[in-house]
Structure 1
Amino acid sequence: MTRLHAISCAALVAAMSAALPAGEAAAQEQLSPTTEAPPAPTPVLRPFVAQYQVSNHGNSLGTATMQVVALDDGRWRVDLAMKGGGLLRVAGLNVEQSTVFDVVDGRYRPLGQSTVKRVFLSKRRTTGGYDWAKRTAQWTGDVKDTRRAPVPLQDGDMSGLLINLAIIRDATPGATLHYRFVDDGRARPQDYAVAAQTQAIQVGDLSFDALRVDRSNAGSEQTSVWVAPGVPTPLRMLQSEGGETGLDLVLVGYQ
């Protein structure tokens, strides 16, 4: 596994201290680069494997792995697997999620989704299919009766895992992000507010200049994600409720 590398950014500004003759000044003006900063490049989707430390209410629970895998025919798959350790192992909890997707007009378009949850001796498995020809999505398996009906699809709809990737792609200082979550037999809008400035976030013994992205229409259940330029996976994913820290995934390394 490749250890994380700290991200730093420095700007160098040089100024002429002496005036040039008119002819030379005109030539210098033509040769000088523009002072307007170019737009930041859009992050490129690429395969990675990332490892996280998982805690809940400050108690260590275990580890998680998030990865993006390139498949055939321009398809991709994003996975998130949580494995028990500490209290999570005692509870016997094990969670695996996957979404197969492609990229259409720059959008991450889900094609199939699956979730497996194991608690003690029980196992819950759900499978979802996104039919873009019929523009409906439907889930089977251990799904609530109220979530078995087809869900109408709209352009831009994503699973929960894809929204995490979209935040990495879209987050810029002060931006407002609008997505539509279609997962597990339900659909709902999700809006996120990106912080106006970066903040230092500690990952192990390294510090990153990261943007905090908060879901703004979640009610008492808050979701926050921290992302940094050049890092293909979130630095941290935090769920909280009523101001209390809940499930917390902190990046420890990726490759």
Structure 2
Amino acid sequence: MNPRILLAVALALLPLAAAAATTPKPFTARYQVSQDGQPMGEATVTLRPGPDGSWILRKDTKGTAGLAALLGASTQEASRFRWRGAVPEAISYDYHLVAAGKDKQRHLQVDWSKRQVSVQDGKHADTYPAQPGMVERNTVPLAVGLALGDGKQQISLPVGVRQTVETENFKVAGSETVKVPAGSFQAERVERSDAAKTFSAWYVPGRYPLPVKLAQSDGGNLVLELVSYSQP
């Protein structure tokens, strides 16, 4: 083959290779969960390949102490997505909460051929336009971690929620030492920088795509701290 053609092909493939290099391999991350400073449960987050080139990010949280254990509380969240560069672009998201014999479910589905999002939340159904590169609540921590790994200090994400795609903004607020069951780390502290300010997380870019510690106030002042991280 003509050397010029070979060079053109190589240059054309470079962006794809760079994008693939920044996406994580399958993993299992385990966290301890506390609420208002009290032990509450444990969470397991897994990433694995899915069908048709998609990927599955699953988070299973189980109450093991206090009121959460008494109520038999557990949540399962499963996201199916495709890689758009190094962004986990949403295909579907399922949420299931069980507590005290009751359950709550939500299903989000993106039809990319129609550029439309459909959300079923109990008896409520909504549709709205999809946005390229959109994520959903379960993949937000992963998307932020991947952006940090690419050296970004300020991150803006289109996030599919119940009735619309909202823009959520995050920024690196500083570097500090954080101690969790998995060890002591020099981490970058990331805060949500828009009006909501419901997200604080500590990341170790280049080592883990997920935070070693995550505090969220929109789900009951929950704090997740990394216990272990493994890859097959």
Give the alignment partner of residue 158 of structure 2, picking from 158, 180, 187.
Answer: 180
Residue in structure 2 matched with residue 27 of structure 1 by the alignment? none
Structure-1 separation of matches of 2:152 and 2:120: 39
Distance in structure 1 (CA, Å) of the matches to 2:152 and 2:127? 36
Deviation at 1:42, TM superposition (A): 6.4
* Match status 1:250 vs 2:222: no
Choose the corresponding residue for 1:108, options 57, 63, 88.
88
Q: Which residue of 1 aligns with 2:178?
A: 201
Report the equivalent of 1:58. 37
Deviations 1:171-196 (A, max 9, x none): 26771110111033442110001134
Relative to structure 1, is the Cα distance of residues 56 and 218 closer, same or farther in structure 2, using a 3 angstrom cutoff?
farther
Among candidates 194, 198, 213, match of residue 190 of structure 2: 213
Is the strand fraction higher in 1 or 2?
2
* Contact 2:182 2:228 survives alignment (8 Å): no
**Gaps (5+ residues) in structure 2?**
1-19
Alignment RMSD, CA only? 2.2
Query: In the aligned structure 2, how far is the partner of 1:58 from the partner of 1:141?
Result: 31
SS at match of 2:42: strand
Whether the 8 Å contact between 1:43 and 1:168 is mirrored in structure 2 is no
Contact 2:75 2:95 in 1 (8 A): yes
Q: Cα–Cα, structure 1 residues 232 and 177, in superposed 2: closer, same or farther, change >3 Å? A: closer
More helix by share: 2
The question of whether the paired residues in 2 share the 8 Å contact of 1:54 and 1:61 is answered with yes
The 1:205–1:72 alpha-carbon spacing in structure 2 relative to 1, beyond 3 Å, is closer
Structure 2 letter corresponding to 1:93? A
CA gap of 1:174–1:48, structure 2 versus 1, over 3 A, is closer
Consecutive unaligned residues in structure 1, runs of 5 or more: 1-40
After superposition, where does 1:54-203 map in structure 2 within 5 Å? 54-87=33-66, 88-143=68-123, 145=124, 148-171=125-148, 175-196=153-174, 198-203=175-180
Q: Which amino acid aligns with 2:89?
A: R
Structure 1 runs of 4+ aligned residues shifted over 2 Å read 41-44, 104-107, 183-187
CA contact (8 A) 2:45 2:58 kept: yes
Q: TM-score, normalised by structure 2?
A: 0.82
Number of aligned residues: 207
Partner residue in 2 for 1:28: none
Whether the 8 Å CA contact 2:87–2:146 is kept in 1: the answer is no
Counterpart-to-counterpart distance in 1, 2:27 and 2:152 = 27
| Normalised TM-score (structure 1) | 0.75
1:231 alignment partner, SS class: coil
CA–CA separation in structure 1 for the residues paired with 2:182 and 2:103: 38
Please, which of 205, 224, 232 is the counterpart of residue 200 of structure 2?
224
Percent of pairs with identical residues? 24
